[in-house]
Amino acid sequence: MADSHLQAVKGAKVLMVGAGGIGCELLKTLALSGFEDIHVIDMDTIEVSNLNRQFLFRQSHVGQSKAKVARDAVLKFKPHINIKPYHANVKSPEFNVEFFKQFSVVLNGLDNLDARRHVNRLCLAAQVPLVESGTTGYLGQVTVHVKGKTECYECQPKPTPKSYPVCTITSTPSKFVHCVVWAKDLLFAKLFGDKSQDNDLNIRPSDDGNTSKNPEDVFERSSDENAEKYGRRIHDHVFGYNIELALANDETWKNRKKPRPIYIKDVLPDKSLQRNGHLENCTSEDMPISTMPTLGLKNPQDIWSLVENAEVFLESLRLFIEKRDKDIGNLIFDKDDQLAVEFVTAAANIRASSFGIPLHSLFEAKGIAGNIVHAVATTNAIIAGLIVIEAIKILQCDFHNCRMSYCLEHPSRKMLLMPVEPFEANKSCYVCSEQILLLEINTWTTKLRDFVEKIVRNKLGMNLPIVMHGANLIYEDGDDIEEDIATNYTRNLDKVLAELPSQVTNGTVLTVEDLQQELTCNINIKHREEFDEEKHPDGMVLSGWSGHLNDNKVASNRENDISSAPSAAADAENPDGPDVVPKNLILGAREKYQRWKNLPTPQKIRPRNRTRRIRKILIKLMTATAATTMTMT
């Protein structure tokens, strides 16, 4: 390393955010490149599924802090450098603008959009350069964001999580992912989660139909009902009775293929399951509870038959009741919970069979349910190396040579990496420019609470917002607010905008501010009476921002929508990753550049214009292919 490089590296104080797939590789590369003062923030603990690629971690580290274990692992081969770990959320108040100002550069290895936006704003406020990154499979990217020299992370639209209307999930599924969402977010949650929650599965059959011992709740198990009998009853209710109930609405099936009810007596004979008792009895306490050994199922990549899925459904329900009874009522689906994955796979496959949807293997279903993008450690290593290269350029103030780098899956003309000049700031970006936003909203029906939660928090990404109308403070969030003032703000939340002490009507300009992020936005209010319920279910339209590509609000399964994040292998979607240039887009832009290079000199366009043209191609195709996104794995 040249002396100038070494001097810049040794004197740098670097903040790493994220110690996962990219983070492990990045911390190792930073240490081996001569960096001597590194701070690492990560709120996560190590899971079993991390061990195949996050090489700093071992089986014995499961459950421990990623940041702390990563530090200890690197210090074993670089004991004389300073690495300070923070097992905390980067959005915590302690990590404010003053905290960020102490660093020479910030390097992101995050796995969600919300945290990325938060770090971007703190870096802008602290005027600290940011290097952003992400990988998915063989694809990867590194982007550089320097205030006043390049665009910020939020200058371009980002994809939002895919949402599915509750009617599609509960009544008219057409894809396997719909069945997985139903099995995970409705059935699993109802059987093993909070018993008080209500959903469409809780419809009680009539007395002359499938009998229920408890007239109040079909899912309540009576004292004289054993696990297998209970399982058969639940199976018949959700896969038989509920399907017959749906078929009663002829209008729904005019242009759709009708599902078929599946009752347990049609799939399995009315007798106990034939289990491998030897395998069941010799299961170690250290081994995860699973139905597969007792049912003779070995390969998770095999697609089970309908009979096998029914057996797994009944057996997994029995094991939950008999082996994990204390957990029932508090369980949340976890992709590392083998028994939960088996139950969800079986339930999703039985529902898929009912609706004529192809069945999937346990391996595939786990990827969809757990939002798993199967990672490639080599891609993480390449991206970590590129991050360090860009960081060194920044530390040397060599901004002219900074590049956004895109890693391709297949070489084209012997190229696997495509460098692109960083883009200029978007003048209409509400984060790094003074762009006034326009909000169309019904001021006579919309409450302040909806405005704060759906617009200020969810869309604008503010954590501790202040809402002002002129000099009047309408709402403020924070821990240091006096009790009587906080009570007044709480009362304001339940008032419609037009009835607030400082009325918000057509033409009102609201100022929204987050002191932690040092971000201020002005929002021009336009009163609107009617909205398209499908396009704008919240009854709000925010214009003049670049927050998301698909401005579809995602609600929980207790409201009108159910959100799911299918794996890239299943639906080529991954919601919280950064913007990625799709493969065909990268190749198209590179080929245009090659054609430019081969032109005679007089015919060449100026490099800046060429970059602008490439940028237009990138943005256009990125918007058109929002489903292809990237996440750090």
Task: Name the residues annotated as catalytic.
Answer: 167
Nearest one of 108, 33, 46 to 72, comparing CA atoms: 46
Q: How far apart are CA 510 and CA 394, in angstroms?
A: 37
Q: At what angle do helices 607-624 and 583-598 cross, to 10 degrees?
A: 160
Q: Taking CA 574 as the corner, what is the angle to CA 571 and CA 580, rounded to the nearest 5 degrees? A: 110
- Alpha-helical runs (H) found in 282-373: 292-295, 306-323, 338-354, 362-369
Residues 6+ apart with CB under 8 A from 500: 448, 469, 474, 492
Q: Report residue 187 as tokens.
A: 């059935």
Rounded to 5 degrees, what angle do the CA atoms 608, 614, 616 make?
Answer: 105
CA dihedral 271, 274, 275, 277 (to 10 degrees): 100
Q: Strand locations in 421-573, DSSP E?
A: 437-441, 465-469, 472-476, 509-514, 519-527, 540-543, 561-563
Helix (H) or strand (E) holding 133: strand 130-136
Question: Tokens 């205030």 sit at which residue?
Answer: 147
Between CA 586 and CA 155 the distance in angstroms is 19
Count of residues for the chain?
633
Contact of 498 with 492, CB cutoff 8 Å:
no
DSSP secondary structure code for residue 600 in this structure: -
Is the torsion defined by CA of 563, 568, 573, 575 positive or negative? positive
Cβ density class 227-244: b for 16+ within 10 Å, e for less: bbebbbbbbbbbbbbbbe
Give the position of tokens 């590129």.
386
Q: Are 320 and 328 in contact (CB under 8 A)?
A: yes
Q: Which amino acid is at 450?
A: D
Residue with tokens 């204390």: 326
Q: Are 532 and 141 in contact (CB under 8 A)?
A: no
Residues 6+ apart with CB under 8 A from 277: 294
The tokens of 519 are what? 């971000």
Q: Which of 467, 443, 464, 457 is nearest to 540 (CA)?
A: 443
Rounded to 5 degrees, what angle do the CA atoms 175, 181, 182 make?
95
Secondary structure of residue 589 in the 3-state scheme:
helix
CA 330, 335, 337: angle at the middle one, nearest 5? Answer: 60
Nearest to 369 by CA among 332, 404, 394: 332
Please name every residue paired with 437 in a beta bridge, in sequence order, or none if there are none: 523
CA–CA distance, 537 with 164 (Å, rounded to integer):
13
